[in-house]
Amino acid sequence: MIKKIIAQLKYGAKKYITYIPRIFNVNLLDKEKTLEKLEKSKIYFSEEEVVELSPVQVYGESSVDYQTVQIVKSSPSIVYELKPSKKVTVLAFGGVKLDNTILNLDFGSAEYIRSLFKRGKRSKIHTEICIPLWSHYWGGGYYDYIMFIYLKILLIKSVLNESDFKIAKFVYPVFGTPFERDLFELAGLSNEQVINSRLYDVKADKYYVVPNVTWCYPNKKNILLLKQLSLSLNIPKHQDQELIFISRKVRRRLSNEVEIVEILKEHNFTFIEDKPRSVADQISLYKNAKVIIGPHGASFSNIIWCDPGTKLVELFSNGYDSPNFRYLTKILELKYYAIFENGVKETHYTNLYNDSYIEPNNFKIALSSILND
């Protein structure tokens, strides 16, 4: 209850804090106003798709209805071209200022408020083509990066001609993670093409921007662009890793992991330690898997590399549920299952980081049913 109250207070504060930029004659646009403002600059559009999420076999107790078909809409996929007939600025936090407005290209523009108190000198550089990618302080997590940032790179690559893509500069507040470098290489980007917006003020002849429109349901065509990357790779086969359990060390841990792993060992599951891996290793791990089990987490972004028919089993606490990977399994023609701990509660994002306890006997029954399905 306390966490919910704090969350509501933060939400209320955000509503009022957005008035601050008006002191500086700057307007923060919401998503709808942003898309309206950019409408005439649209050069590519793939409309949202209606996706039917089939009923799912759930084990344990959940406040979410998994037994009926759920209808969701995927995000549209849009590319806009901005020419400097209007004043375009890529700000240090990665946001785009168009004349006196801050565009909402991702999930809100509150980061602009924080940036007002973090003024720093940036070196100026000029390029022909600039592509701003991200406008938030978070996004360095594996799932967020792939779904909200990397998909933009792949979409731009599919829209621009090859020569323009090779000279384009991709600008955002670089997080410096090893997987960023791996993914750049996989997309065919050189290190020189990636510019840290915290350090450089990039001016260009043309800008291309791609909005994130929905949170949980990325555009199907964009997901398939990502899937295609693995098809060109030579992935070695590891038959001893067809059944895998993905462990988590921090946040959303399985508190009785030792008990659950002992049960899994009886079925010849391989225990996958929670540690940094190259993108190539993660692709190989998931590409080879037939059944994947573990607590809900960013590692499951890698189901994109799985073959059709692969089974994903998510373990949830009793106060949190997320449709992200259920949606992806539908798009990718995988099989999805969910196991919840006992003691159902209302699902709420403030429970996102709660650990879970899966009752061992219930897990045995669920596992047997899933493996025989």
- Give the pLDDT confidence of 115-167 residue by residue, as tens digits: 888 778 999 999 999 999 999 877 789 999 999 999 999 999 999 999 999 99
Higher pLDDT, 349 or 211: 211
Given strand 77-82, what is the order of strands in its sheet?
42-46, 77-82, 200-209, 123-132, 169-172, 194-196
Shared domain check, 207 and 124: yes
User: Looking at residue 348, what is its pLDDT?
Assistant: 80
Residue 8 lies in a domain: no
User: Looking at residue 230, what is its pLDDT?
Assistant: 81
Q: Which residues make beta-bridge pairs with 53?
A: 70
Last residue of a domain, one of 157, 189, 219: 219
Question: What range defines the domain where residue 186 resides?
Answer: 23-55+67-219
Residue 60 lies in a domain: no
pLDDT confidence band for 329 (50 / 70 / 90): very high
What is the C-alpha to C-alpha distance for residues 22 and 12, in angstroms, rounded to an integer?
Answer: 18
Shared domain check, 243 and 214: no
CATH number of domain containing 293: 3.40.50.360
| Residue 308 pLDDT greater than 60, yes or no | yes
Shared domain check, 268 and 184: no
What is the C-alpha to C-alpha distance for residues 138 and 155, in angstroms, rounded to an integer?
Answer: 21
Residue 318 lies in a domain: yes
- Give the residue among 125, 328, 142 at the shortest CA–CA distance from 227: 328
Shared domain check, 355 and 317: yes
pLDDT confidence band for 191 (50 / 70 / 90): very high
What tens digit of pLDDT does each residue of 25-72 get? 889 999 999 999 999 999 999 999 999 999 998 898 787 888 899 999
Last residue of a domain, one of 185, 219, 253: 219
What is the C-alpha to C-alpha distance for residues 207 and 204, in angstroms, rounded to an integer?
Answer: 7
Contact 325, 306 (CB under 8 A): no
Instruction: Give the total number of structural domains in the chain.
Output: 2
Residue 62 lies in a domain: no
Using CA of residue 145, residue 151, residue 152, residue 156, what is the dihedral sign?
positive
- Give the residue among 172, 285, 161 at the shortest CA–CA distance from 230: 285
Shared domain check, 260 and 200: no
pLDDT confidence band for 82 (50 / 70 / 90): very high
| Residue 5 pLDDT greater than 80, yes or no | no
What tens digit of pLDDT does each residue of 167-186 get? 999 999 999 999 999 999 99
User: Looking at residue 13, what is its pLDDT?
Assistant: 53
Last residue of a domain, one of 189, 219, 249: 219
Shared domain check, 326 and 185: no
Residue 13 lies in a domain: no
What is the C-alpha to C-alpha distance for residues 62 and 358, in angstroms, rounded to an integer?
Answer: 13
What is the C-alpha to C-alpha distance for residues 249 and 246, in angstroms, rounded to an integer?
Answer: 10
Shared domain check, 284 and 317: yes
Residue 39 lies in a domain: yes
The pLDDT of 227-256, averaged and rounded, is 86
What is the C-alpha to C-alpha distance for residues 165 and 50, in angstroms, rounded to an integer?
Answer: 31
Q: Which residues make beta-bridge pairs with 139?
A: none
Q: Mean pLDDT, the chain, as a whole number?
A: 90
Shared domain check, 355 and 288: yes
% of the chain beyond a pLDDT of 70: 93
Residue 140 lies in a domain: yes
Q: Of 47-61, 189-203, 355-369, where does mean pLDDT reach its minimum? A: 47-61
Shared domain check, 243 and 215: no
With a threshold of 0.95, does the pTM exceed it? Answer: no
Shared domain check, 177 and 38: yes
Shared domain check, 358 and 305: yes
Shared domain check, 256 and 193: no
What is the C-alpha to C-alpha distance for residues 101 and 25, in angstroms, rounded to an integer?
Answer: 9
Structure tokens, 7: 């969350």
Structure tokens, 250: 């921090």
Which string of DSSP letters, residue by residue, matches 291-329?
Answer: EEEEES-GGGGGGGGSPTT-EEEEEE-TT----HHHHHH
What is the C-alpha to C-alpha distance for residues 316 and 270, in angstroms, rounded to an integer?
Answer: 20
Residue 18 lies in a domain: no
% of the chain beyond a pLDDT of 90: 73
